[in-house]
Structure 1
Amino acid sequence: MSTIEEVRPATESDAEGIAAVFAPYATDSVVTFETTPPTAEQWRAKIRDSPLPFLVLARDDVVLGYAYAAPWRPKPAYRHTVETTIYLAQGTTGRGYGRRLLDELLKRCAEAGARQAIAVVVDSGSPASANLHRKAGFTDAGVLRRVGFKHDRWLDTLLLQRELG
């Protein structure tokens, strides 16, 4: 068995691992506005139905993180703009995994015809996600103030944007 981490397309068999990575973010943090973690079956459907890249970073088939793109908005004029999402398993940050996932996601989005990528980052008081995106070439595009309420606090979202090609 390999002990090398690989970035690859997600498969439906990754759904349990993806659910396990995301669940603590939904229940215990403010980095997502989700409050109820999606089930493995909901993740399977998202993987199966995704028209855009959905990637995992795995070691020995254990999901250490995932990243995917989704349409930014449903109107036809936005068809070349995607929103990126990236999450790492607890305890795996600071190892370059996020950058590997994000770089590969952006490359595959460009290959799929996307021209702009948008990241919506909750201003949780921790700059890690915004810094990851900035290091990957995203620039600040704006702040939406007090648009989310979770764990008894109002939260802002930072919009970041990157041209893909």
Structure 2
Amino acid sequence: MIRSVFSSDAVEICEIYNHYVKSSAITFEEIEVSREDMRLRIAGVTAELPWIVFYENERILGYAYASEWKLRCAYKFSVETTVYSFGCNRQRNWHKIVSRIDRKAN
């Protein structure tokens, strides 16, 4: 299932995100993100743009959000899409998530 993010999701989102902080260079971060910092990130994004989660059996398996691409006026209708998952690699579900975040961002 897909739904909009809640600030209380920061706990599970941190688990997913910090997995990538520890095991890859994809996040460009070296220090794990705290739950409070993740809550602030969620609030910052959702003030203007969508953030959604994919969940099954009440557990978040992944999330996606849109953020500003660049600040110049030529890019005002462009967003960057970010998707992270943990324990979920079913392609059809991620197609749904990317499609949903794209629709919400437009």
TM-score range, shorter chain: 0.7 to 0.9
Bigger drift between 32-41 and 15-24 goes to 32-41
Q: Shift in Å at residue 36 of structure 1?
A: 1.9
Q: Shift in Å at residue 97 of structure 1?
A: 2.8
Q: Name the residue aligned to 2:56.
A: 59
The one of 40, 51, 56 equivalent to 2:35 is: 40
Q: TM-score, normalised by structure 1?
A: 0.58
- SS of equivalent to 1:87: strand
Structure 1 residue ranges, 4+ long, deviating more than 6 angstroms after superposition = none
Q: Shift in Å at residue 16 of structure 1?
A: 0.5
1:97-144 CA-partner distances (Å, limit 9, x unpaired): 32221111011112xxxxxxxxxxxxxxxxxxxxxxxxxxxxxxxxxx
What 5-or-longer segments of structure 1 have no aligned partner?
1-5, 111-165
Taking the aligned partners of 1:38 and 1:76, their CA distance within structure 2 comes to 31
Residue pairs, 1:52-131, within 5 angstroms: 52-89=49-86, 91-110=87-106
Q: Name the residue aligned to 2:9.
A: 14
Alpha-carbon RMSD:
1.5
Taking the aligned partners of 1:31 and 1:108, their CA distance within structure 2 comes to 25
1:59-118 CA-partner distances (Å, limit 9, x unpaired): 2331110000000012233211100100001x31135332221111011112xxxxxxxx
Q: TM-score, normalised by structure 2?
A: 0.87
Q: Could you tell me whether the CA contact under 8 Å between 1:52 and 1:68 is conserved in 2?
A: yes
Size of the aligned set, in residue pairs, is 104
Structure with the higher fraction of residues in strand conformation: 1
The structure having more radius of gyration, on CA atoms, is 1
Taking the aligned partners of 1:85 and 1:39, their CA distance within structure 2 comes to 19
What 5-or-longer segments of structure 2 have no aligned partner?
none
Residue identity opposite 2:28 in structure 1: F
Residue identity opposite 2:2 in structure 1: V
Structure with the higher fraction of residues in helix conformation: 2
